[in-house]
Amino acid sequence: MSPNNHPGQLAGTHWDPSQYLKFSDHRLRPALELLERVPLASPAIIYDLGCGSGQVTRLIAQRWPSAQVYGVDNSKEMLAQAAAEPSRVHWIEADIRAWSPAKPPDLIYSNATLQWIEDHAQLFPRLASYLKPGGCLAVQMPLNWEAASHRLMRETLENGAPGGGRLGSQALRQALARKWVENAQTYYDLLVGYTTSLDIWETEYLQVLEGEDAVLEWVKGTGLRPVLNELDDTQREIYLAEYTRRLRQAYPVRPDGKTLYPFRRLFIVAAV
Ligand SMILES: C[S@@+](CC[C@H](N)C(=O)[O-])C[C@H]1O[C@@H](n2cnc3c(N)ncnc32)[C@H](O)[C@@H]1O
């Protein structure tokens, strides 16, 4: 397993913004739905944790024009893409696991990122504790551990080699076997002692994807990255051929040429 890819930081820091942004409409919608539920009129200091290429961070800066807005990420590629577009956002290279704000923020926002970080029992109360009184923690994470795309990702590591053998290291298989996001009640229990109100909900989007092997292309931009990063060229080729075959069965192309990819997400808006 590469040093960048140990189970504590399965995401690694090398992201490909263009692969991630292939489905930017589908990825943007939950980010905006989360933002809409933030109950703050005029926050002064805002952090977007795991800001990626900064698309949402810039929208945050537009929604609250007088706020100081910071985008935090540990991927140089993503931050370079973010900084390439002029904006008044301050981009910060930092690892969320070690990050703490210079001044107490009014809003900590994080879309599609905290699932990459382990130990939510420690992480969520820690983030809530940084907020100014009256502030808010707003988080969205995918709930796709049980989705066929992710089950097949794990199963193909277990038995996808010719003859039904394993692929990749035990550490990789263990890291992928970790359930990244807990259920809604767990986050309620984690945060209730630190907050004055908690708004938690789930949404399942029936995503209509275009293009060949659309689900494979989707996961290549996010969940499959640890597998692709770790396997050597030969293993990667074997893995991708078998995983693609299984994905095509699980997500058949519809008569109109589109592929349906149901995707469940968990939203948390916690006010302190
Ligand atoms: C799936 S992208 C989401 C990007 C953005 N929030 C959005 O909604 O488009 C996840 C981002 O989290 C970042 N990330 C993952 N683990 C991180 C960590 N420990 N510290 C900082 N950033 C991290 C990645 O570099 C990546 O840019």
pTM of the entire predicted model = 0.90
Nearest protein Cα to ligand 1, atom 9? 52
The residues, any chain, with a CB within 8 Å of residue 51's CB and separated by 6 or more, are 57, 71, 72, 73, 78, 79, 82, 89, 91
Measure 196 CA to ligand 1 centroid, in angstroms. Answer: 27
The residues, any chain, with a CB within 8 Å of residue 5's CB and separated by 6 or more, are 12, 172, 226, 229, 230
Q: Mind listing the pLDDT tens digit for each residue in 186-240? A: 999 999 999 999 999 999 999 999 999 999 999 998 889 889 999 999 999 999 9
For residues 126 and 270, what is the distance between their CA atoms, to the nearest angstrom? 13
Token representation of residue 195: 């907050």
Q: CB of 180 within 8 A of CB of 115?
A: yes
For residues 19 and 11, what is the distance between their CA atoms, to the nearest angstrom? 15
For residues 260 and 272, what is the distance between their CA atoms, to the nearest angstrom? 38
Ligand 1, residue 99: give the atom nearest the CA.
20
Q: Mind listing the pLDDT tens digit for each residue in 4-32? A: 333 345 556 666 766 666 677 888 999 99
Measure 163 CA to ligand 1 centroid, in angstroms. Answer: 37
Nearest protein Cα to ligand 1, atom 1? 112
CATH classification at residue 59: 3.40.50.150
| Dihedral class, residue 213 (left if φ above 0, else alpha if ψ from -120 to 50, else beta) | left
The residues, any chain, with a CB within 8 Å of residue 3's CB and separated by 6 or more, are none
Q: What is the pLDDT of residue 5?
A: 38
Of the residues 23, 32, 72, 74, which should be mutated to test ligand 1's pocket, given the most ligand atoms within 8 Å of the CB? 74
Which residues contact ligand 1 via a Cβ below 6 A?
9, 11, 15, 27, 31, 50-52, 55-56, 73-75, 78, 95-97, 111-113, 116-117, 222
Q: Mind listing the pLDDT tens digit for each residue in 78-110? A: 999 999 999 999 999 999 999 999 999 999 999
Range(s) of the domain holding residue 91: 3-271
For residues 66 and 70, what is the distance between their CA atoms, to the nearest angstrom? 13
Total domains present in the chain: 1
Token representation of residue 180: 């990244």
DSSP labels, 245-256: HHHHHHSPBPTT
Nearest protein Cα to ligand 1, atom 25? 75
Residue 62 has pLDDT above 70, yes or no: yes
Ligand 1, residue 48: give the atom nearest the CA.
6
Displacement of CA 94 from its chain's centroid (Å): 16
- Mean pLDDT estimate for the chain: 92
Residue 74 has pLDDT above 70, yes or no: yes
The type of residue at 252 is: P
> Cα–Cα distances in Å, from 71 out to 20, 114, 171, 172, 192?
17, 14, 31, 29, 27
Question: Per-residue pLDDT averaged across 262-267, rounded?
Answer: 97
Residue 145 has pLDDT above 70, yes or no: yes
Q: What is the pLDDT of residue 8?
A: 44
Q: What is the pLDDT of residue 100?
A: 98
